[in-house]
Amino acid sequence: MNSFSKRSYIVIGIFLITALVFSLRLFNLQVLDPTYKVFATNNVLREVVQYPARGLIYDRNGTLLVHNKPAYDLLVTPREVTAFDTLYLCEMLGITREEIEAGLQAANKYSRYKPSVIVQQIPPEVYAVLQERIYRFKGFHTQSRTLREYTYPVAAHVLGYVGEVNANDIQEDRYYSQGDYIGVSGIERSYENGLRGSKGVKKYLVDVHNRIQGSFLGGEEDIPAQIGKNLTTSIDIDLQLYAEKLLQNKKGSVVALEPATGEILALVSAPVYDPGMLVGRVRASNYSMLVTDTLKPLFNRALMADYPPGSTFKMLNALIALEEQAITSNTYFPCYGVASSPIRCTHDHVSPLHVVEAIRESCNPFLWNTFRSIFSKFSSSSEGYEVWREHVLQFGIGRKLEIDLPIESKGSLPEVSYYDRIYGKGRWNALTVRSLAIGQGELGLTPLQLANYCAAIANRGHYYTPHVVREMEDESIPEKFKTKNFTGISENYFELVIEGMEQAVNGSTGMLKIPGVSMCGKTGTAENPHGSDHSVFMAFAPKDNPKIAISVYIENGVWGARYAAPIASLVIEKYLNDTISGNRGWVEERMMEANLLNPNQPK
């Protein structure tokens, strides 16, 4: 046999082997592999996204605050749609023909080949009927979802709400697709990545009548959804309920926190609203109603409103002066004569007086002279102001505290350049900005900052960054919430202002005193050019080893002791004693009945 014949056999052999391989592969694909039976039997393979249930949210004592309830979406794939009974579908779902037509147009615009949500959040009872009749509507199918449900109609500004993603959300995080839900505000937004879980996919065989025939490949290619992580907040729901009840028919806020940890016990922004209003198919109409409400219930006053602190700021000015040795514990200023100009005293008391007495009596001339003494230690007013401002910043005022909620104001604490621009460089001094001495002027604090400043005093010189979450399942809270923030003021100086705060409460009316509790507090009346002055109060209790620090701000509350102080004392008593003593029932009743939203009711 010559070499040519040998090569011929080799070539023939290669062709035969190749033909055999292709034959075996075709046999496997066409006969043995069940995948292609999908097309051979006119069935369709459908991938259905499996949405995980969001994590549950609890209060600090394990009480369930937010859970999930089932709901369903109706989806459509435009290229698969054939003529259907529009009126019948609308009646079944409780929607209008216009809504269906608008949904179909939007789906066509998005993609003819990909499914789009056409009707959202169908309740279980309607879904049960729809599933029995879905075969009549070719190109339509359903998917399960969950909606948030709230155990109590409170804490809306803390918990937040969930809404549909927008184009920016999808662009920023590829996890999301059109029709997905995302945390929009509050805890739902801040802890979205943990609460949302992870989506899965189920593959189904669907016949020509749009009916599911079973899992594809027995579910081998399914990806299970991962449920979101549960979360425990620092909120005491009983205290939150009580504080919201006290603020009914008022505009303002309550922020209560635990000084030893920075954990927020209650955070109220009034007027309040039921978080359940922003769930389900009524969310859009309710949101429109809330956003146009002139009382601005969606505005989180506790974190976003910049208020003048009034006399509650006087302890900080005293602390700065003591630290800078502009005054001592034996420094006396009178509240009459030259010392009282241009800021005069507003009520009678002993004079001259030292720092403890000045805090107790809320003496304006003492704090003005204290403020001026700080400036006089430095070669220029701008230098003195800069030193003063740095001390204020150390208390978390004039900057964001970086709480674990998505929106927060830094308040208002002007820089030197601001006054240089207004008055001219070197042409202003302590007298020019004297209103800062008594918590007025350009100074603005959020109620959160005021409560945190109070906690720093309670802790004798440090605070923990306020936060509303204690832990998330399998995760610990960030280190910044466990780290002490020092104010830079020596601890011994705090005892002087604390003594003044305790005497201020002990010398007040019976509306403030809590039986058996040593409370340290300070009222404030914040000037308001647009109406009645605001009522302000900050306090902590007990004096030693404090368990709670609080700020209360009541808009148009006339003066500090009228509304803010009694409300704060009631919240503190409720938290420490779990009840209100019998002889203070009249205080509770008066605060709850007060309606400051009614212009005809005397304030």
Quick: pLDDT tens for 443-462: 999 999 999 999 999 999 99
Task: Show the domain range for 26.
Answer: 3-32
Q: Are strands 484-486 and 462-464 parallel, antiparallel or unpaired?
A: antiparallel
* Least confident window among 10-24, 246-260, 329-343: 10-24
In whole angstroms, give the CA distance from residue 179 to residue 191: 20
Distance (Å) of CA 395 to CA 449, 480, 491:
8, 16, 14
Say if residue 193 is in the same domain as residue 261: no
Q: How confident is the model at residue 42 (pLDDT cuts 50, 70, 90)?
A: very low
The structural domain count of the chain equals 3
Q: In Å, how far from its chain's centre is CA 499? A: 34
- DSSP annotation of 55 reads P
Same domain membership, residue 530 and residue 393: yes
Instruction: Indicate if 78 and 18 belong to the same structural domain.
Output: no
Q: Please answer whether residues 540 and 259 qualify as being in contact, where contact means their C-beta atoms are separated by less than 8 angstroms.
A: yes
As beta bridge partners, residue 147 has: 69
- The pairing of strands 140-150 and 44-50 is unpaired
Residue 412 sits in the same domain as residue 525: yes
Here the CATH number for the domain that contains residue 150 is 3.90.1310.10
For residues 445 and 514, state if they share a domain.
yes
231-233 and 252-257: which strand pairing?
unpaired
Q: What is the four-CA torsion angle of 207, 210, 212, 213, rounded to 10 degrees?
A: -20
Whether residues 28 and 114 share a domain: the answer is no
Does residue 598 belong to any structural domain of this protein?
Answer: no
Interhelix angle for 237-246 vs 585-593, to 10°?
A: 60
276-297 mean pLDDT = 92
Q: SS3 for 162-173, per residue?
A: EEECCHHHHHHC
242 and 223 within one domain? no
Residue 209's pLDDT is: 60
Within-domain flag for 350: yes
Tens of pLDDT along 236-269?
999 999 999 999 999 999 999 999 999 999 999 9
Does residue 360 have a pLDDT over 70?
A: yes
Same domain assignment for residues 166 and 128 = yes
For 92-139, write each residue's pLDDT tens digit. 888 888 888 888 888 888 888 778 888 888 888 889 998 888 888 888
Q: Is residue 321 part of a domain?
A: yes
φ, ψ for residue 548, nearest 5 deg: -150, 140
Report if residue 39 sits inside a domain.
Answer: no
| CATH, residue 509 | 3.40.710.10
| Same-domain check for residues 195 and 253 | no
Cα angle 50-53-58, degrees, rounded to a multiple of 5: 170
Tell me the residue type at 503: Q
Same domain (yes/no): 56, 90: yes
pLDDT category of residue 79 using cuts at 50, 70 and 90: confident
For the full predicted model, state whether its pTM sits above 0.95.
no
Helix %, strand %, coil % of the chain (to 5): 40, 20, 40
Same domain as 138, residue 12: no
Q: Give the containing element (helix H, strand E) for 244.
A: helix 237-246
Per residue in 147-156, pLDDT tens?
Answer: 999 999 999 9
